[in-house]
A and B are shown apart, each in its own frame.
Chain A
Amino acid sequence: MQDSKKYTEAELVSLLKERQQPVFSYLYDNYSGALFSVINAIIPDKDTAGDVLQEVFVKIWKQSATYDATKGRLFTWMMNIARNASIDMLRSKNYQHNAQNRELTGNVYEQVGTTVTNIDQIGLRKLVHTLKSEQKVLVELSYFEGYTQDEISKMLNIPLGTVKTRLRAALLQLRELVKN
């Protein structure tokens, strides 16, 4: 870390809008690791996840004026930018094409010498994997794969209302896991 000074969140938010280089450097040093784990839990390939992180920081920097502190914390805002960008990447034709190529050459997680991580072991996804399976699948499809509840209802053949209540119950369970 270049700058040992710690900003409070309110200070950081107002400095961000001044758009000076040292603030960006500070933001990167403090938040890149946490945001990278959010991305890496969705995009296992480290290089691609790095590209997404780059895009995310450019977005954070250019859109800092749109952040509204009354709607939530700065990290929540950045985390949602990171998740959306990761899911966009997951859905992109290019990425799916590459993923197919990886499947053709063997199991993604067992290849020697690649930087692909086992996503089940990363951050929030690790906690989600301890949920019971009917809850796990809903959080997986909605949070990590970005499907809407309507799409999930059709995919799994479960009524939309049930998807909603089960997902809410799963998130409450997840809240308890995050606490510990």
Chain B
Amino acid sequence: MNIQAYIESGIIESYVLGLADADESAELEMLCRQHPEIQAALTNFETQIEKQAFNNAIAPPPELKDRLMDMLEQDFKEQNDSKKIPPPIVEMNNIQNAGTRQSSFWRYFAAASVILLIGSAALNLYLYNNYNDTAARYEALLAERNNLQASNGVFQTRLNGLEESFRIIQNPQVLAVKLPGVNGHTENIAAVYWDSQTKDVYLMPTKMDKAPEGKQYQLWAIVDGKPVDAGMVEDCNGLCKMKNISKAQAFAITLEDKGGSPAPHLEALYVYGNVNG
């Protein structure tokens, strides 16, 4: 391979700046191991970008470092364990004899304890009931919130699909082809949106009979009088993206067995429309 041409291809710069895709990166990493010149060119550009970033360094907000140090405190490893402070030794006072008043004091103390215990048990019971009630209500709220979130997600997906469809239809370079129903299927109608630049084909099954079990609609592009498969009509949100068609004079939809046919069954033709007409 031409190493010099590879170095001058711009791939090294893409890689360093994080713009290379996975294949390009893997190739570069492999070539670096085989060719020291490529490795040198890589290190050279990395060093220059690094120097550039350092020359243009901007001081971050000063309080940030302390905030980070606090955040990561749990994560820092102890440098050594020998710093542990021994627990202090506390001398006990001599226990003095309290004399004869002691026994009556303990009697009152025991009675007070029993009363407190009963009071505390009652309070516990009351608080426990309250807690159960709140927990149940919290669970209910949580379930409700999850439901709302899920339906919000569904709506968002639908909205995104419709917005995307709307954007395609609005695009001035997209050609609209109406496909009215043919004899026997006049109540059906569909439209094809054909991007004249990218040649992407989108289908809007505006009003099509529901396909019977085991059957599926198939879109055909008519190219110089011959039908070309343009993809199966799936159940889509807004526009269905079909196969890319570079050239066509007309589009048609037939009802075929599920999975499609190599050639259309003309007796099962539903809608048909000429491009530019």
Question: What sequence of 0s and 1s flags, for each residue 48-74 of chain B, a beta carbon within 8 Å of any chain A beta carbon?
Answer: 111011101111110011011101100
B68 touches A57 (CB 8 A): yes
Q: How long is the Cα–Cα vector from A76 to B16 in the complex, in angstroms?
A: 7
A25 proximal to B (CB < 8 A)? yes
Can you list 28 contacts pairing A with B, beta carbon distance less than 8 Å?
A19-B77, A20-B79, A21-B69, A21-B76, A24-B76, A25-B69, A32-B60, A34-B53, A34-B54, A34-B56, A36-B57, A37-B56, A40-B58, A50-B60, A57-B68, A58-B71, A58-B72, A75-B49, A75-B50, A79-B49, A79-B50, A79-B53, A83-B17, A123-B53, A154-B198, A168-B14, A171-B17, A178-B45
Q: How long is the Cα–Cα vector from A19 to B72 in the complex, in angstroms?
A: 10
Which applies to chain B's interface (DSSP): helix, strand, loop or mixed?
Answer: helix
B13 touches A171 (CB 8 A): yes
CB distance from B9 to the nearest CB of A (A): 6
The total of Cβ contacts below 8 Å across the A-B interface reads 134
Which applies to chain A's interface (DSSP): helix, strand, loop or mixed?
Answer: helix
B14 touches A178 (CB 8 A): no
CB distance from A147 to the nearest CB of B (A): 10
CB distance from B55 to the nearest CB of A (A): 9
A167 proximal to B (CB < 8 A)? yes
A61 touches B75 (CB 8 A): yes
Q: How long is the Cα–Cα vector from A124 to B50 in the complex, in angstroms?
A: 11
B53 touches A124 (CB 8 A): yes
B43 proximal to A (CB < 8 A)? yes
By beta carbon, the residue of chain A nearest B61 is A50
B76: chain A residues within 8 A (beta carbon): 19-21, 24
Q: How long is the Cα–Cα vector from A101 to B71 in the complex, in angstroms?
A: 31
A142: chain B residues within 8 A (beta carbon): 19
- 15 new A-B pairs (CB below 8 Å) besides A36-B58, A58-B68, A72-B16? A32-B60, A34-B50, A34-B57, A38-B53, A53-B64, A54-B64, A54-B71, A79-B49, A79-B53, A84-B18, A122-B58, A123-B52, A123-B56, A167-B14, A168-B9
Given A18-B77, A34-B57, A178-B52, verify A72-B64 contact (CB < 8 Å). Answer: no
Tell me how many residues of A have a C-beta within 8 Å of chain B. 55
B170 proximal to A (CB < 8 A)? no
A36: chain B residues within 8 A (beta carbon): 57-60
Q: How long is the Cα–Cα vector from A75 to B52 in the complex, in angstroms?
A: 12
By beta carbon, the residue of chain B nearest A157 is B197
B61 touches A28 (CB 8 A): no
By beta carbon, the residue of chain B nearest A172 is B10
CB distance from A125 to the nearest CB of B (A): 10
A62 proximal to B (CB < 8 A)? yes
A54 touches B68 (CB 8 A): yes
By beta carbon, the residue of chain B nearest A79 is B53
By beta carbon, the residue of chain B nearest A53 is B60
CB distance from B195 to the nearest CB of A (A): 10
